């Protein structure tokens, strides 16, 4: 027998020598939730260990994360129903929770990369990512105007990376044009390029109370059965001015991460979504799996598939382990 691959596995030193992929703290983007009020730290029931923070405690938590080496964060607003309306007008309220939070984070932690979410659903009384017509149709081009204003307001508040998660056609181009016209050509766009109509989003919608009030999101989010369609979306986003391409969810779509990585020169990111996090936590609570080992293996699989960065609710846990 001439070939014995086990020779390269015989000791930890040799295994480390030939290891192909690594997970580091620099790969991590931490999604976080902000709520109104003071001294508020409310656990998301379906996401053990993940909290909705009022701004004062959010800043403390970010400080702890920065001390662990996490330098990238993505912020989402959890708003009460009275702040929501059909046109998502709260999204451009400079005195509102979200824009104040962005400004406060950048003021206290200017060194971090601060990513935002651009979609109507956190602000919409309809719970959809786009503007809903009287007939219940999601209006694409009318939504773009709202998204452009939302993105501009976030850039003005200090955002480094705009994250359009809405899946409207042409939104990357429209947002890029709005940002450039107002002097924000330095602000990046991380497009949710291949965002699938997935059942893995349930805990996130619990956290934001942003589930659609009727129907579903299948007319704008992608069909889980399709992969070639992701290449169409990637080509368009790249042509329209995206700086990063994202795949969401990640774990059930590793083939899509690999597909995009093989067909673009742009960085590819993966969103390790709430349902993926919740499954690991639930199984660990039952004693069925080792949470830390499964967490690390799961995230490493995303790196192996080609992800350059990962949005993950495990970020603080991973950073803590890597620092030990």
Query: What letters, b where the CB count within 10 A reaches 16 and e where it falls short, cover 214-253?
Result: eeebeebbbebeebeebbebbebbbebbbbbbbbbbbbeb
Q: How far is CA 117 from CA 32, 146, 219, in A?
A: 11, 13, 20
Chain segment 178-211, per-residue pLDDT in tens: 999 999 999 999 999 999 999 999 888 777 776 7
Residue at 306 is within a domain: yes
Is residue 286 part of the annotated active site? The answer reads no
Domain count, the chain: 1
Residue at 78 is within a domain: yes
pLDDT grade for 2, boundaries at 50, 70 and 90: confident
CATH number reported for the structural domain that contains residue 158 in this entry? 3.20.20.70
Report yes or no: 76 and 208 within 8 Å, Cβ to Cβ.
yes
Residue at 154 is within a domain: yes
Two tokens, residue 40: 């508020």
Chain segment 9-41, per-residue pLDDT in tens: 999 999 999 999 999 999 999 999 999 999 999
**Catalytic residue selected from 195, 217, 261, 303:** 195
Domain that holds residue 112: 22-323
Chain segment 81-104, per-residue pLDDT in tens: 899 999 999 999 999 999 999 999
**Catalytic residue selected from 84, 217, 248, 316:** 248
Residue at 135 is within a domain: yes
Is residue 195 part of the annotated active site? The answer reads yes
Q: Give the mean model confidence (pLDDT) for residues 231-246.
A: 98
Residue 215: per-residue pLDDT: 76
Half-sphere exposure of 111 (CA within 13 A, CB side): 8
């Amino acid at each position: 027998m001439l070939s014995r691959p086990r020779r390269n596995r015989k000791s930890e030193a040799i295994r480390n020598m030939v290891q192909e992929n690594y997970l580091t703290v620099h790969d991590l983007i931490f999604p976080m939730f902000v709520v109104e009020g003071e001294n508020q730290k409310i656990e998301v029931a379906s996401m053990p260990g993940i909290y909705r923070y009022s701004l004062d405690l959010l800043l403390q938590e970010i400080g702890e994360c920065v001390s662990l080496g996490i330098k990238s964060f993505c912020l989402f607003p959890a708003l009460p129903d009275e702040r929501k309306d059909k046109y998502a007008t709260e999204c451009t309220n400079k005195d509102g929770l979200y824009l104040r939070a962005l400004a406060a984070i950048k003021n206290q932690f200017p060194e971090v990369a601060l990513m935002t979410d651009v979609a109507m659903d956190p602000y919409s009384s309809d719970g959809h990512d786009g503007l809903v017509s009287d007939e219940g149709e999601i209006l694409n081009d009318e939504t773009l105007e709202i998204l452009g204003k939302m993105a501009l307001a976030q850039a003005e508040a200090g955002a480094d990376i705009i994250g359009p998660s809405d899946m409207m056609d042409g939104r990357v181009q429209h947002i890029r044009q709005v940002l450039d016209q107002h002097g924000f050509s330095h602000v990046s766009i991380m497009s949710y390029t291949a965002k699938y109509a997935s059942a893995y989003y349930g805990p996130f919608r619990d956290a934001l109370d942003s589930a659609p009030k009727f129907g579903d999101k299948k007319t704008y989010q992608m069909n889980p059965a399709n992969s070639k369609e992701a290449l169409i979306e990637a080509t368009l986003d790249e042509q329209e001015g995206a700086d990063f391409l994202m795949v969401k969810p990640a774990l059930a779509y590793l083939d899509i991460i690999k597909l995009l990585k093989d067909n673009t020169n742009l960085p590819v990111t993966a969103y390790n979504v709430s349902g993926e996090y919740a499954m690991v936590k639930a199984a660990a609570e039952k004693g069925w799996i080792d949470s830390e080992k499964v967490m690390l293996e799961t995230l490493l699989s995303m790196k192996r598939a080609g992800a350059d960065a990962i949005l993950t609710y495990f970020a603080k846990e991973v950073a803590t382990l890597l620092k030990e």
